[in-house]
Amino acid sequence: MFEQITRGSRVKSPWLLHYDCSSCNGCDIEVIACLTPVYDIERFGIINVGNPLHADILLVTGAVNHRNRKVLENLYEQMPHPRVVIAIGSCALSGGVFREAYNVVGGVDKVIAVDVYVPGCAAKPEAIIDGVLLGLEKFKKLSNNWRGVGGIFREAETNES
């Protein structure tokens, strides 16, 4: 019962965590622009949070480098199951123009599993909103099928509430 309520409310109002891995800022400010009155992603019940323990959706912008790779892995680890990762911008997809640079590992999918890819340099806010909604669909499916195998899900759940 309790599990069902949490599950339902998480789908209705997913919380979003944004992490910037060596992005040029272009995609970052577009992500923030999505939160402001003109694009207003909050109308979908989405709120931007700073704490990975509260987040359901992880938005990543920019190519991964050797140092922030650890931060990204860490954030991803802390997020409760099920979770959806959305990569935003050419950099996050493949490394973009920085692909050949010595300190760049590559796209986000080199480090963690990505569910939705939003292309563009910089990705437009419309595209980002579209991507987030696609991610939400997936999130819905994931949570319906999720039975907390091995207790990971349950544990995360109880910690959170």
Residues making contact with other proteins (CB under 8 A): 18-30, 32-33, 36-38, 49-50, 52, 62-63, 65-68, 71, 75, 95-106, 121-122, 124
Classified as helix, coil or strand, 118 is: strand
Classified as helix, coil or strand, 111 is: coil
Percent of the chain as helix, strand, coil, to the nearest 5: 50, 15, 30
Which one among 31, 34, 57, 62 touches ligand SF4, defined by CB under 6 A? 62
Given the rule CB under 6 A, which of 9-17, 79-87, 90-98, 124-132 is the region that contacts ligand SF4?
90-98
**CA atoms lying within 13 Å on the CB side of residue 119:** 1
Residue 65 binding result from ligand SF4, other proteins, none, given CB thresholds of 5 to 8 Å by partner type: other proteins
Classified as helix, coil or strand, 16 is: strand
Q: Looking at beta carbons only, is 62 or 82 nearer to ligand SF4? A: 62
Q: How far is the CB of 120 from other proteins (least distance, A)?
A: 9
> Does residue 122 belong to the site contacting ligand SF4 (CB under 6 A)?
yes
Q: Looking at beta carbons only, is 47 or 134 nearer to other proteins? A: 47
Q: How many residues bind ligand SF4 (CB under 6 A)?
A: 13
Given the rule CB under 6 A, which of 8-16, 91-99, 133-141, 146-154 is the region that contacts ligand SF4?
91-99
Question: What is the number of other CB atoms lying within 10 angstroms of the CB of residue 42?
Answer: 15
Tell me the backbone φ, ψ of residue 133, rounded to 5 degrees.
-65, -40
- Our CA angle for 62, 76, 69, nearest 5°, is 45
Which tokens sit at 134?
């696609």
Residues at the interface with ligand SF4 (CB under 6 A): 23-24, 26-27, 61-62, 89-91, 96-97, 121-122
